[in-house]
Structure 1
Amino acid sequence: MRKTISWSIGIYFIYVLFIIWYLFYFADTSIPKEFKGTSADPETFLTPREWMLSEQYSQMKNLLFFLAIPYDWLIYIVILVLGLSRKFQDWAKATTKWSALQTVVYLFWLSSLVTVFTLPLSFIAYRLAKEYGINTQTFSHWLKDEIINFWVNYVLMVIIVSVLYWLIRKFEKRWWLYAWLLSIPFIVFLTFIQPVVIDPLYNDFYPLRDKELETKILALAEQANIPAEHVFEVNMSEKTNALNAYVTGIGPNSRIVLWDTTLERLQEDEILFIMAHEMGHYVMKHIYWGVAGYVLLILIGLYATNKLMKWIIQRWGACLHIKNIKELNSLPLFLLLISLLSFSASPLVNAVSRYEEHAADQYAIELTKNTEAAVSAFQELTRAGLSQVNPPYLVKIFRYGHPTILERIVFLNTYE
């Protein structure tokens, strides 16, 4: 037990040193010579202080990202090796004889413990964004969001885990296939209700109050053959100074949403470009393609997880205090493998997302015919979010679902 934990902590420590070396000493984030002096060069649209702050903030934010994910893996390993997952299962069985309620009790203990250990990193991320002027939330509002997030995830986990382990116990050889089949309507349902049930738990949404701007946006939507009746804005200024807009939901619940910070800091023609970009996602059905892609990845992930769990339990089950895959205390191993596989697949997922975002940029330019507004919009996005114009390669492939600001502005400058 001590050997397993020592090796895990040692590997994590070496990984941390590598990430620090890579982000702070090795990675080159300077602008290539051929783009010096162009509108893609941050020296042309950021003050020296803004450029320095964007580099500092991005480095720290990237460091937290790369530390947080394997830190979760380390937590799951320690929970398994110390036998805590087995104890949680025993407590659940001692509390009630009902299998469904045992899952409720077990997940409460597991979720609470994981939250206790991950909350410090979340707080550091909050304080970092606060110090650099990105986050505007008070501590009480931040804590409220964390509590809401805990209970939303907990309720979803109870539903998913209850069904998952019922399938494992009933169909040990093919549980992954049946779980995948059930995941399809579940994902579609969540995507459908997210704009009207989940998102309003965190923020207030309402139709765009600037009716003159809404008229212009709806005229743009009509030009794109989109049957839109409203554009929604959300009060994000009480939480952040960053800018954003997005498309969410499917079917009649689909929405185009603007952050109020975007409305406050961007000019009208810049907002129209942003809206045209989001309309591009709608026209090209990127949300539907995204759902289909995730469904395919879930199939591959569940199949691989089934194989890996059985192999790991057969070889190291005694060390992990797991007798077979049917036991509820094997859940941390399931979550560990799912997280590992998700992280491994993230470069592919992000590459597809960057392709879609580039296609939406091109669509927006073809619709608005205004490259100057597009360039200035991206420059303001950089300034407001203190984003790196040219992030390190590893950061790009593991974190960026959008092309970099450098790539987006260079494309606009060369677009014909």
Structure 2
Amino acid sequence: MNPSMSKHLVLLIVCFAFAFVAASAKETSIAAASPETQQQVQALDPAAATQAWLASVPRNEREKSDAYFEGGYWLILWNFLLTAAISIFLLASRISACLRDFAGRVCRGSRWLSLQVILYAIPYFFIAVTLSFPLHLYENFFREHHYGFAAQSFLPWFRDQLTGLGVAIVAGTILLVVLYAVFRRVPRTWWIWGTAVAVLFAFGAVFIAPVFIEPLFNTYKPLTNPEVRDPILAMARANQIPVKQVFEVDASRQTTRVSANVAGVLGTTRIALNDNLLKQCTLPEIREVMAHEMGHYVLNHGAKLLTYFGIFVLIGFALTRALFDAAVTRWGAKWSVRGIADPAGLPLLVLIFSTLVFIATPFINTVVRVTEREADAFGINTSREP
């Protein structure tokens, strides 16, 4: 699935991207390496091999790679500052309060209080997306083309963005309806129940997305080449991953990147790899990439990351409750925000929680980095491809 229309929306949907959830699997042992393989591994110096490979990369390519990733670090800051600026603008200008009042007038007399949340959320999303679109356009279109990662012209790219926006609005509105129902019913302990809601949505969204959402952007078809498919299925069987088919994704129409994933639960588990991987990589390289992705599944990284996500959201919501109440006490009259159950306070919630996410970025990156290293080790051991 393409990135959402803005990091602002991603933060609003409670950092679902952090909750990379793969299905749990039975523990399994990896067969011991043969004596010949052990000798090859012992003869390989990983550090020296890595340095030799880096030395083979042209200097201009290394500098280009460094610039791309260093620029990505700065974009974390710019996206946070933009999110904060949009939130403050909506509060200080009372646009958020006006949206709340408009929604209240439309649904006046209705007993379904969630209707006001829906009527507030939809224009709020469109305003936030419009204000954040210039940075999103640079980050996900112009910058990707500059570094050679994009394959789409503007119109097809924009069409995908509109599809992503529609999905984000539907998912975000449903989440807000449930959260604001929690705010109304348990205003003092909403941060506890809100955490449960966020975790359930994260769990459901990540399991649903690969099966029902991603096909909105790409075509999935069974991989028919037995030279590629059969070794992948053999690794899956050896690690008790319940799949009988491998799917190929037509990602090359959008990007030059290679990628793959193993995702799903309760009979929906699926192995998929994009066609760039087939076009750009050798069979040993494909085996290593797929073994790495299987590592996330077999090592139960989904459940682990979901646990970390739940702890982070619980702490974040607890801090958000205290900071939100303090801000409303001081500036609530100026912003016309009445309390946690008031939809007009949504930009304040986004501002506080996005700040906490930004501060926690090193922790989040560390957790992700650890899981990636574990998947790397699993992939090397499973594929026997250094």
Decide whether the 8 Å contact of 1:193 with 1:253 is kept in 2: no
The superposition leaves residues 25-73 of structure 1 with CA deviations (integer Å, 9 ceiling, x where unpaired) of xxxxxxxxxx998533675232233233323333444333321122111
Separation in structure 2 between the aligned mates of residue 157 and residue 227 of structure 1, nearest angstrom? 32
RMSD between aligned alpha carbons? 2.1
Identity over aligned pairs, percent: 30
Match of 2:338 among 323, 343, 357: 323
Given the alignment, which residue of 54, 70, 82 partners 2:81?
70
Distance change >3 Å, CA 280–CA 158, structure 1 → 2: same
2:105 aligned with 1:90: no
**Cα distance change on mapping 1:121 and 1:212 into 2, 3 Å:** same
* TM-score normalised per structure 1: 0.76
The CA deviation at 1:195 is 1.5
Please state how far the C-alpha of 1:252 moved relative to its aligned partner.
2.0
Select the residue among 80, 85, 110 that pairs with 2:124: 110
> Moved runs in structure 1, 4+ residues, more than 6 A?
none
Higher relative contact order, structure no. (Cα contacts within 8 Å, ≥ 6 residues apart): 2
Q: Which runs of 5+ in 1 are unaligned?
A: 1-34, 372-416
Q: Which amino acid aligns with 2:330?
A: R
Whether contact under 8 Å (1:192, 1:251) holds in the other structure is: no
The residue aligned with 1:58 is 69
1:276 is displaced (CA, Å) by 1.2
- Look up the equivalent residue of 1:119 and give its one-letter code: F
1:65-91: per-residue Cα shift (whole Å, max 9, x none)? Answer: 321122111110111011111111111
Residue 353 of structure 2 aligns with which residue?
A: 338
The equivalent of 1:169 in structure 2 is 184
Which residue is 2:11 aligned to? none
Aligned: 1:268 with 2:283: yes
Q: 2: distance between equivalents of 1:157 and 1:194?
A: 14
Do residues 226 (structure 1) and 226 (structure 2) align?
no
- How far residue 368 of structure 1 moved from its aligned partner, in angstroms, is 2.5
Q: Match of 1:284, as an amino acid?
A: L
Shift of 1:358: 0.9
Normalising by structure 2, report the TM-score: 0.81
Partner residue of 1:413? Answer: none
What secondary structure sits across from 2:271 in the alignment?
strand
Match of 1:80 among 91, 101, 104: 91
Task: Identify the match of residue 299 of structure 2 among 259, 266, 284.
Answer: 284
| SS, match of residue 188 in structure 2 | coil
Report the CA distance shift for 1:90/1:304 in structure 2 as closer, same or farther (over 3 A): same
SS in 1 for 2:253: coil
Instruction: Say if 1:83 and 1:320, in contact at 8 Å, map to a contact too.
Output: yes
| 1:178-219 residue CA offsets vs partner (Å, 9 max, x unmatched) | 222333433332232222111112222222232221111111
Q: In the TM superposition, what whole-angstrom CA distance separates every residue of 1:212-234 from its partner, at most 9, and x where no partner exists?
A: 21111111222333333122221
Contact 2:94 2:335 in 1 (8 A): yes
Deviations 1:269-326 (A, max 9, x none): 1111111111111211111222222222222222221121111111222333323222
Asked if the contact 1:231–1:255 (Cα under 8 Å) also holds between the matched residues in 2, the reply is yes
CA contact (8 A) 2:97 2:335 kept: no
Q: Distance in 2 between matches of 1:219 and 1:263?
A: 18
Contact 1:242 1:261 in 2 (8 A): yes
Q: Aligned partners of 1:286 and 1:57: how far apart in 2? A: 27
Q: Residue 344 and residue 209 in structure 1: after superposition, are their counterparts in 2 closer, same or farther (change >3 A)?
A: farther
User: Which amino acid in 2 is paired with 1:138?
Assistant: S
Deviation string, structure 1 residues 121-153 (Cα, Å, up to 9, x no partner):
111121121122211111111111211121111
- Separation of aligned partners in 1, 2:146 and 2:236: 39
Q: Which residue of 1 aligns with 2:21?
A: none
Instruction: Report if the CA contact (8 A) 1:81-1:321 is conserved.
Output: no
Q: Is the 8 A contact 2:199 2:309 kept in 1?
A: no
**What is the aligned length?**
337
